Structure formats: structure tokens, C-alpha cells
Structure 1
């Protein structure tokens, strides 16, 4: 994993910790003004909706838990679900390319290597399974871990795959051999999220768990370079009444600053080079399910079960605004090289926002039950979503 020159420092180390709270009266007023978003929406949004999809895939027989677009072939998608199966399929015609079998329980994570030639699946049966799809589809390896697989993350420049498990262990495999090259032990609770950082380089591997611990690993040696826990009350994602863990995170372009979302709604901003807590952002009320940083503007988006997406200035760490949804927001992702944010909501709707103004630009419907996952094509033209209704739908997000 070759070293690359560091870019400009994202935040200065001498910045003081700051707690950001949105005024409670302002929040109550905003929620009241947006209550109409809940009208005519039954539990889970089960009502007659207009179908805006341009294509779909309907082979799954149970809830679709994960979906991932090939980063090179913009028409090829992989998905996994509660039917213990994963599929590779074509989003242009909805046809099945290959059924990926071998799991004995739900497939909860799926992902492609940076070159688009390998696809991996992780299941509740403790298995990591990998296929090569360069020309045709060839099974490569199956690795039995020590507990249910929670997440997968491919290295952004190499053929290394990381996976986090329910027992806190983190595994790293090398392709094409399929050999386990590292098993990281350090978490004592389920690892809820993990990824190689910084984006596009992957010098380090960051992982977070359900007890509020962050560990940054050296992938080559297996050593931990940074460890922060809830024993430091300033870093604790919970509050006086309840304990909490970290559910999601994202890093800046240099990989030295992480934005971590907690199950209580708190977001902590930390410099992992010196274990310095830069800010505690406390605008949202419930679990932060996804965090993403805008590729063209200093804006961080945090999607929460409380039905909001909070936008912060990722340089000054000041609260900007909330984007209101009728029900829990499951995921959020920026379109490539743009200020446009897509959000996936439990009300069965994907929405497109301009984060500069907070304007709602579009709504894409078609699912009959809550959306559980989404992925965008590498060119940013289409979004694919999976749902409790067992369907995957393709939407044109340019309109």
C-alpha cells in the first residue's frame, strides 16, 4: 500500500472542542412546520404510489438488505437479501447475470473491488464469499469467520477486502488467493462500520463498534494507531440516561479527521492523528444511520432515524440546516462531483436535494415497503434501491 503525499490539513489541531446544538424551540417549530410530510403515510408508507422507476429486478424472495453498483461497468449491479442469495444483474434490462449461492443465512453486505473484477458477499451465516467477474463469474473463496458478518469494505487501490463481525473481530483477505492476511482483535462489541481511509488511498483501516469505541489500524502490520473509547466522557456517544455506540462514519480527504454518528443521535468530530476531539454535534434526536461528506463543498450530511438529515459546515463545524423527511432516513449519499444529495427514507421514497439551499429537487417512488439500501452508478446518473418489498428498482436521478 504505497504512501502518497498528504494534502492540505483539513482542520487545524489547535481548534477547540465545540458542542453544537440546534435551539430546541427552533427544532420544535421546524418539526411542526413539516408535519405534513407524515400525512397520508401509513406505517412504513404502505399506500398507493406512483412508480417512477425505469427498471427493476424481482428475483429476490425476501427483503433486500444490500446493493452495490460495479464501479467500472455502469450497468452491472450486485444485491443480497433475506433469501440467503445474492445476484449479479443488469440495470439496463433487469436481467439476471448470475445467482451467487452458498450462503446459509441472510446476505447482509455486498461490495465490488475497485477495478470491478471481484464481488464479495457477507452473511449472517458467518461467511465471506468472493467471486471473480472479469469474464464470466468464477467462485474464488469462502472464508468462515467467528460470527455474523456485519459489513464489507474493499481497499480503494488494492485487492484487499476487510470485513467486520458481530463478535468485534475484523478480518482482511487478499485476492486473488483469498488468503486471510490479518485478523484484528480489539473491539469487545459488534463492529457496526468500517472502511479504508483516506478515500482513494486506503493507508489505514478505521472501525467502530456498538460500545462507542473507535480503532484505526495499520492494515499491513495489524497494529492499532489510534484508539478512542467512551471511557472518555467527551467521546461517549451516549448520554446520562442511555449508553450508545457508533453506527456510521466518514472521513475527510486526508483521512485525518473522522465524523462519527452515534445511536443516540450525537455526532463527534475527531482528529485521529492526535486523538483530539474537535466538536460534538448534537442536533439530532435518534440514531445517525449514515454520514457522508460532500465532494465539492465543505458540507457534512448526517441521516437520522428521527426523520432528518442534518447539514453541517465541515470546516467551521457549524450547523447549517435540516432536511425533513416524514419517517426515518436510512441512508444518504452525494452524487459524484456535485452538491446534490440523495436520501433513502423508510417512507419508501428516495429524495434529491441541493445542499446549498436545502431545496428538494425530486422524489422517486415505486416501492411498497421501506427502503433498506441504495447505491448510485459511477457516473451518477441512476440510483438503485432495495426494499422490504423484495424488489430492487432503478431510478433516473438526473431528472
Structure 2
């Protein structure tokens, strides 16, 4: 933000006071929400090894000889940590990597549309705005940049503490971030008007803006979960103690209407939380699993990723020991246990089916039928672990990011198509 701007307000840590407008009584539509958030009275903040049980590299290289991908993106000079598809068309991908860069590129042919430079550390977060007009890239050191895709210009930047996560509001040009010091930041882009949601001094490890656009759920290193009111700036629910997790939050997801949130933790459990009441209404865990390669026999089997099925009352929980567990949402009963040979990094449900996909430390992408618990298909091509992936709306292609310095596009084929 321009530091010469009139009426600049200086922030002083805990003394920050935010005044915001009242919510409308009627249920707003997405456009109304975007307008409402645009009118929030923000404050002006100036710019400021153990591999036991896993495949060896030689084994993965041998399997990767049958590269199933349609396209390989090889512009990065280090591990590729994150990937997102643009929400408007699903025709563009953005990847961030160890080379301190993010690239926006066309999924159909791999052509680079924008190179995001100027970062000080590995780019671990890269996401498109709700209308796909902007892309935000964030590095581990806390440097965040926003770029306008059409003009290929950097239009805003800000530096925070060590960055944990970065997410756009679902229907407004508003960006949120969680940091190592426990703060959650929210900015209007490109104006840069800012407000913070402060909590105890432990990492804000994961966060998600709910579909109503009014609230965000944030998980913390001490096992606490907070539901924040984005307009009023206060935590409407705090889940901690016996109700909360016993270890750091690793992941969270919400169902389609935002009424339920599923949280995962290093304590080996996933909790189902009603976002209206703030009550834990279910808990999921698997017995007997230990993290592969763990030196500590008491170390819990960390939950690495969670998600809701959109078409059936099912949830999926992915564990570090390679277990993909499918649970019944209403009874909390384990329906299927799908075992992988290596730890699962991330899972994603297809938007309109009962198929859930996983990426693993063994370099493979797999599709599972949650009705039967059977694997539908497997895709290989990477010679190192897959660190992130995403699937388009039609579930016809997946884009993966890997430690082998590459991103790949896979066309997804299934017998039912």
C-alpha cells in the first residue's frame, strides 16, 4: 500500500481496534457478500529420513518408465510444493516451488502465461482469486504477492511472519493468510486495507473460509479450532481442551453448505464440528496405525488430509501410515479401509461422484470408489513423491506437483465413462 496515503492508521499489536459494519438481516447472495465485504472498515496497514517401508528412488524411476501423464511442466528448478486450478475455467494452473517462483501456465499445452518472481524463499502457497483474474503467491518467509493475470503485473505485496496458509475469499477480492505467530490476516486487494484476527501465540496451521463468506475456520498448533466472524472480527466458537485436538491441526475441510467442518491433527484423530453450535458431533480414528519410519513407537498416526463427499453421506480421512479411511457421516462407522504402500499427502473428492483421489509419497495418484472401497485406477509418471494435486470440476483431468521438480497433467479415465 502507498505509505503516503491520507488517514493512515498505525497498528500497535494487541491495541488494534477494528470497527465493522453490521450484517444484513436477510440471507445475502454471493454478489451481496462481495459488496458487503468490500465495505468492511479495514484498518490501513502499510506494506510491511527414515524411508523404511517406502519405495526407493530406483523403484519409483522403474515404475515411472510408463509415464501415464499427458503433459509435463518442467519450468521449476526445485521441488514443486503446490498446485491450483483457476476456478472460472479450470484451464490455467499455478504451481509454486523450491526455486522461489510461481508459474501460471495453460493446462492444455503447458505454455507459461505468467512467471511470479521476487520471492525470498520457497513458494508454498499459490492460489487464484474467485473470478480467476488474480493469483496470489506466498513463500515460507511470509512474502505474499498478488498478480493481475491479464496484464501480468504485480499489483500488491505484503510481508508477514512465516506463512502457514493462504486462501482467497469465495466471492470477493479479499485474501486471507495464517502465520507462524498465530495471527490470521485479511486484506482487500489491491487496496491492501487490512485487519487481523489475533489469538494465542501458536501457529495458525490451517484455515478455510466457509461458503457463506461470513466466517472462517482456523486450526492451531495447540489443537484449538476457532470459528471467526469476518465482519465483527471475533471468534464466535472456540473448540479446545477435551473437545479439541491433543496435537497440532494439520488440515480441515467443510461440507458444501458450510454447516460442518472436519478437522485433522497429528494426534491421529479427525473431528466433526457443527459450525453453528461450535460442538464436536463426531470423531474418527483408526486403530493400530503408526507413522511409517517413526522412531517413536508412541508417535500417533497423523491425519494428513480430510474431505466430504458431495453426493453421499461419507467423509474420507487420509493418514500418514498410508491408510485412506472412508466413514459414514451419520453413524461415524468405518466403511472402508483403503491401504497404500506409502504415506498419503492429500486427498480430494470428485465434485459430483463417489470417487476420492489420493496422492502419495510413492509418487502415484490413485482413484478409489468409496461405495466399494476398491481402487478404480492408478497413475504414475513422477520419480519422487507427489506433494500436491488438484482435479478439475468434470473430473476429467488431474494436475500434480512433485519433488522431482515437475508438475504433470493426467487425463482421468474410468470404466463408467
Q: Give yes or no for TM over 0.5.
A: yes
Q: Does 1:81 align with 2:97?
A: yes
CA distance in structure 1 between the partners assigned to 2:381 and 2:275 by the alignment: 42
How far apart are residue 278 of structure 1 and its match?
A: 1.6
Alignment of 1:104-183 (within 5 A): 104-133=120-149, 135-145=150-160, 147-180=161-194, 182-183=195-196
Pair 1:215 & 2:238 matched: no
Go from structure 1 to structure 2 and tell me whether the alpha carbon gap of 1:56 and 1:47 turns closer, same or farther (over 3 Å shift): closer
* Correspondence for 1:347 among 362, 367, 370: 362
Which residue, out of 30, 46, 55, partners 2:60?
Answer: 46
Q: Secondary structure at the match of 1:46?
A: helix
| 2:286 aligned with 1:272 | no
What RMSD, in angstroms, separates the aligned Cα atoms of the two structures?
1.9
Secondary structure in structure 2 of the residue aligned to 1:48: helix
Q: Distance in 2 between matches of 1:297 and 1:96?
A: 38
Contact 1:44 1:369 in 2 (8 A): no
Residue 214 (structure 2) pairs with residue 203 (structure 1): yes
Give the Cα separation in 2 of the matches to 1:259 and 1:269. Answer: 5
CA contact (8 A) 1:44 1:348 kept: no
Which residue is 1:247 aligned to? 250
Q: For structure 2, list consecutive stretches of 5 or more residues without a partner in the other structure.
A: 1-22, 30-52, 290-300
Deviation at 1:380, TM superposition (A): 2.2
What CA deviation, in whole Å up to 9, does each residue of 1:74-113 have, x standing for no partner?
2211010111000011111112112101111010111111
Decide which of 197, 204, 219 is 1:184's aligned counterpart.
197
Which sits farther off after the overlay, 70-79 or 349-358?
A: 70-79
Structure-to-structure mapping, 1:315-394, within 5 angstroms: 315-394=330-409
Report the counterpart of residue 329 of structure 2 in structure 1.
Answer: 314
Name the SS for the 2:61 alignment partner: coil
Instruction: Describe the superposition over 1:41-67 as per-residue Cα deviations: whole angstroms up to 9, x where unpaired.
Output: 326953312200000110101111111
CA distance in 1, matches of 2:209, 2:98: 27
The alignment covers a number of residue pairs equal to 354
Structure 2 residue aligned with 1:24: none
User: Relative to 1, partners in 2 of residues 1:234 and 1:218: Cα closer, same or farther, differing over 3 Å?
Assistant: closer
Aligned equivalents of 2:278 and 2:111: distance in 1?
49
The one of the two structures with greater contact order (alpha-carbon pairs below 8 A, sep at least 6) is 1
Decide whether the 8 Å contact of 2:92 with 2:107 is kept in 1: yes
Q: Distance in 1 between matches of 2:57 and 2:228?
A: 42
Return the offset for 1:116: 0.8
Separation of aligned partners in 2, 1:87 and 1:310 = 34
C-alpha distance in structure 1 between counterparts of 2:95 and 2:335, whole Å = 35
For the residues of structure 2 that align with 1:234 and 1:124, how far apart are their CA atoms?
A: 31
SS in 2 for 1:326: coil
* Equivalent position SS for 2:94: strand
Q: Distance in 2 between matches of 1:45 and 1:340?
A: 28
Residue pair 1:303, 1:329 contacting (<8 A) in 2 also: yes
1:252 Cα shift?
Answer: 2.5
Q: What are the ranges of 5 or more consecutive residues in structure 1 without an aligned counterpart?
A: 7-37, 239-243
The whole-number CA distance in structure 1 between the counterparts of 2:82 and 2:95 is 6
Aligned to 2:114: 98
Contact 2:273 2:281 in 1 (8 A): yes
Q: 2:14 — aligned with what?
A: none
What is the CA–CA distance in structure 1 between the aligned matches of 2:115 and 2:255, rounded to whole Å? 36
Question: Is the 8 Å Cα contact of residues 122 and 150 (structure 1) preserved in structure 2?
Answer: no
1:382 Cα deviation (Å)? 0.8
Normalising to structure 1: TM-score of the pair? 0.84
1:158 Cα deviation after fit: 1.3
Task: Report the equivalent of 2:242.
Answer: 233
SS across alignment from 1:291: strand
For residues 111 and 157 of structure 1, the distance between their equivalents in structure 2, rounded to whole angstroms, comes to 14
SS in 2 for 1:367: coil
- For residues 252-292 of structure 1, the C-alpha deviation after alignment (integer angstroms, 9 at most, x for no partner) is 33323221111121111222333322222221631111111
User: How far apart are the structure 1 equivalents of 2:310 and 2:268?
Assistant: 24
